[in-house]
Amino acid sequence: MEFLSSILDLVPCLYDHTSKHTLYIRDLKKNIEALSKEMEKLNNLYEDVKAGVERAEQQQMKRRKEVGGWIREVEDMEKEGNEILRRGDQEIQKRCLGCCPRNCWSSYRIGKAVSEKLVAVSGQISKGHFDVVADMLPRPPVDELPMEEIVGSELTYDRICRCLKDPQVGIVGLYGMGGVGKTTLLKKINNDFLTTSTDFDVVIWVVVSKPSNIEKIQEVIWNKLQFPRDIWEIRSTKEEKAVEILRVLKTKKFVLLLDDIWERLDLLQMGVPHLDAQNKSKIVFTTRSQDVCHQMKAHKSIEVVCLSSEAAWTLFQKEVGEETLKSHPHILRLANIVADECKGLPLALITLGRAMAGEKDPSNWEKVLQDLSKFPAEISGMEDELFHRLKVSYDRLPDNVIKSCFTYFSLFPEDLEISNENLIEYWIGEGFLGEVHDIHEARDQGYKIIKKLKQACLLESCSLKEKRVKMHDVIHDMVLWLESECGKKKNKFSLNSDDFWLKESQEIPDLKTANKMSLWDENVEELLEPLVYPNLETLIVACNKLKKFPSGFFQFMPLIRVLDLSDNENLSELPTGIELGLVLAVVATAGLLGRLQHPFRFDLAGIEFCGLPLLSAFFA
């Protein structure tokens, strides 16, 4: 009897289990229809949540992990659900008379999968009712920016940090030549707010460039302030947007980082409130022009200079790589020379270092040194990564007169320190400063141009109370590249169609077409002997060994605008052919006249060039 009782107790359990499995088969069609409807509901909810997330992210807010996880689960569930529905439809179509499965086991498995997915989809729907805005984490007050590690600029960085802590300094301007590392320093300032304790409410990073666009700058600022998009979009003018930005920023202690400014920005027009010791907000900007620092009324202007030789070598080694430097005994010595050619300019060091990374053949290093002295643009990356970026400073010089004065340095060798007076005399002789009334006005204009070029960080002051200037070697290479029509004509170095530059006995074809030439070679007599220059208008010769010019050298030159023979200590005789009709402008030859064995008499009384009396212009 006990055995029979146990059997009877087991029957309901078997029935329940069998009945459940039977339902998977019997209700397959009904469950497929229900799953299809639930999948549609889930998809609609997914679209709503995703749209809400995108709107919030446009306001610079960050989604919670919970929201992101739900979205990813729905995307996976949709793929799985569609596959189950497809298999279920196929199973229904296979049934005999539309109700009897041909394979009960197959129909059971599919029915079970449909039933379980139906429960899962319903559960996912119940979890997806987010208040999207309330469930979005606000972005941190600082966004981390990708950047290279700074090398050798620690002292400059410390100066900037001291300014940020000084309550009397609200606006800081960082100026310096292109490629010197201004943007890298500004990025480090930004990123350091991530790890340092600060009471600033928000740090805003804006790339300005030129032409500056006030409304785009306002857009970046507003996005960082994390306010509802609908409020912003109803503001149609930049004046209305400025009012909204001003209203918000006045309630915050902020840091505004403006990268690559080329002209004065009207901060109030953007909606940026006036900085004072009470609100303690800060503005730091970078520019290639010292004059922009003055226009922006920076409380502190800091020049970012090139690296020391030690720091430059450290940066170059980092880019080239230890394996390459140790691959051959001669490479380390050659690499030192290549790094020194960059004269501490970080962009040049990085560009050249990357070009030489993995180069383990010493002969290729020697070739690079040759290219640096002749055609640096041929080195990998130099044209695109270096010269084109430096050229922006040239392109943004205010007029063609200043551009012509700048590119005139193509006539001078690297590292030449030239006096301001001599440089201006060259420019006067060339006619660059023609729109003047007298020599004094011309010189004043020349000094203003030198000042502008220095403010644009394209010229550097030397010692001796800034009475001399020089050009950074890499900028000088860029000038030669410009004068070769951006590398299109290797042997041409001028804006004019037939100007050439000759240096260190470098052979250049078609010299008969040259109208500007400077010779700095010790063996310059060998170059002058066999050649005739019928189009020559500018000639600068600096050679300690030159004693005389070949007979007839000036005979076929109809006009000389600029003739400089002053740096030839052994020159004691001029050739026949130089006479008043030939020389319109003689620059810097006064010291030479006293050394001539047979001095020429220049009767310049009453003769003018570009409206300037020659005697007072060049022998005063």
CA nearest neighbour of 518 among 494, 533, 491, 538: 538
- pLDDT at residue 490, rounded to an integer: 53
Chain center to CA of 57: 28
Residue with tokens 């990813």: 72
* Least-confidence region, from 232-246, 387-401, 491-505: 491-505
- pLDDT(567) > 50: yes
515 three-state secondary structure: coil
CA pair distance 523, 502, nearest whole angstrom:
13
Which residues have C-beta within 8 Å of that of residue 266, sequence separation ≥ 6? 214
Alpha helices in 95-177 (DSSP H): 104-127, 154-165
pLDDT tens, residue by residue, 191-221: 998 887 678 889 999 999 878 889 999 989 9
Query: Of the segments 17-31, 207-221, 573-587, which one has the largest average pLDDT value?
Result: 207-221
Query: What value does the mean pLDDT take over residues 343-347?
Result: 92
Q: Are 458 and 446 in contact (CB under 8 A)?
A: no
Q: Kind of pairing, strands 612-613 and 608-609? A: antiparallel
Query: What value does the mean pLDDT take over residues 325-337?
Result: 93
Which residues have C-beta within 8 Å of that of residue 525, sequence separation ≥ 6? 543, 545, 546, 547, 550
CA pair distance 502, 508, nearest whole angstrom:
7
- pLDDT at residue 494, rounded to an integer: 38
pLDDT tens, residue by residue, 253-297: 999 999 999 999 999 999 999 887 777 899 999 999 999 999 999
- pLDDT(449) > 80: yes
The torsion angle over the Cα atoms of residues 282, 288, 290 and 296, rounded to 10 degrees, is -40
Using CA atoms, how far residue 607 sits from 55, 161, 444, 561, 565, in Å, is 76, 60, 22, 14, 22
Phi, psi angle pair for 486, to nearest 5°:
55, 45
Both tokens of 291, joined, read 């004059």
- pLDDT at residue 174, rounded to an integer: 96
- pLDDT(437) > 70: yes
514-550 residues labelled b (16+ CB within 10 A) or e (exposed): bbbbbbbbeebbebbeeeebebbbbbbbbbeebebbe
Query: What value does the mean pLDDT take over residues 615-619?
Result: 35
* Least-confidence region, from 253-257, 335-339, 381-385, 403-407: 381-385
- pLDDT at residue 95, rounded to an integer: 65
- pLDDT at residue 1, rounded to an integer: 46
Query: Of the segments 14-23, 189-198, 457-466, which one has the largest average pLDDT value?
Result: 189-198
418 three-state secondary structure: strand
Higher pLDDT, 315 or 565: 315
- pLDDT at residue 72, rounded to an integer: 87
Q: Kind of pairing, strands 538-541 and 562-564? A: parallel
Peptide bond into 413 cis (omega under 30): no
* Least-confidence region, from 29-43, 149-163, 495-509: 495-509
Query: What value does the mean pLDDT take over residues 122-129?
Result: 84
Residue type, 426: Y
- pLDDT(573) > 80: no
The torsion angle over the Cα atoms of residues 188, 189, 194 and 196, rounded to 10 degrees, is 120
Q: What is the mean pLDDT of the chain?
A: 78
- pLDDT(318) > 90: yes
Query: 334: pLDDT confidence band, cut at 50, 70 and 90?
Result: very high
Q: Are 59 and 221 in contact (CB under 8 A)?
A: no
Which residues have C-beta within 8 Å of that of residue 96, sequence separation ≥ 6? 102
Chain center to CA of 406: 22
- pLDDT(566) > 90: no
Q: In the chain, what percentage of residues exceed pLDDT 70?
A: 76
Higher pLDDT, 498 or 86: 86
DSSP per-residue letters across 317-378: HHHH-HHHHTSSTTHHHHHHHHHHHTTT-HHHHHHHHHHHTT---HHHHHHHHHHHHS-GGG
DSSP per-residue letters across 520-564: --TTHHHHHTT---TT--EEEE--TT--BPPTTTTTT-S-BSEEE
Higher pLDDT, 218 or 613: 218
Provide the strand spans (E) within 168-316. Answer: 171-175, 202-207, 254-261, 282-287, 300-303
CA pair distance 609, 558, nearest whole angstrom:
16
* Least-confidence region, from 25-34, 317-326, 412-421: 25-34
What pTM did the predictor assign? 0.69
User: How many Cα atoms within 13 Å fall on the side-chain side of residue 583?
Assistant: 22
